[in-house]
Amino acid sequence: MSGERRPLQLDCVRRVRRWAPAAADLQSWAGAALGRRGAGAELGVCIVGAAESRRLNRRYRGRDTPTNVLSFPAARLPRASLVGARPRPLGDLVVCAAVVRDEAHAQGKALRAHWAHLIVHGALHLIGYDHEHTAAEAARMERREVAVLRRLGFANPYRSAV
């Protein structure tokens, strides 16, 4: 294979009928967040309802409530196993469409903009960004989110919409 870089591959599964952005938008937003780390990688996005989000959040984070986005990084594979035409697994995002809609409404944000923010947020978690351990890490992640969203044409999600 030549030195060309393959784009991020996004596989999307929709388990609810509620509105969600097109897979091409999800791929664009995640790709912008990942930058070069997304090249040749595969990302799964699963759009779920509140019951499934709650079950996963309880199981993996010990929080008995549905949440907007959960990030599940792929296991690190040895470099030799990544040779070939297959994309490198990056991980999965599980997004609860109902929670995203409710949050956007409560915060006075456009639904599409809130989706973009949460896809960017979740993708950054997959490459090691965090906001729960230290204030410095949270500030670093927030700066990255704001910069990526600005490049995508979205306003700063941390400023009030009113």
CB 8 within 8 A of CB 30: yes
Q: What structural domains and CATH numbers belong to the chain?
A: 9-151 (3.40.390.30)
Cut 0.85: pTM above it: yes
Question: Token pair for residue 38?
Answer: 């997304």
Cα torsion 70, 64, 140, 111 to 10°: value is: 60
Over the stretch 95-153, which tens digit does the pLDDT of each residue have?
Answer: 999 999 999 999 999 999 999 999 999 999 999 999 888 999 999 999 999 999 999 99
Q: Which residue has the higher pLDDT, 75 or 160?
A: 75
In one letter, which amino acid is 45? V
Over the stretch 47-101, which tens digit does the pLDDT of each residue have?
Answer: 999 999 999 999 999 999 999 999 999 986 555 555 556 788 999 999 999 999 9
CB 114 within 8 A of CB 145: no
pLDDT score at 1: 44
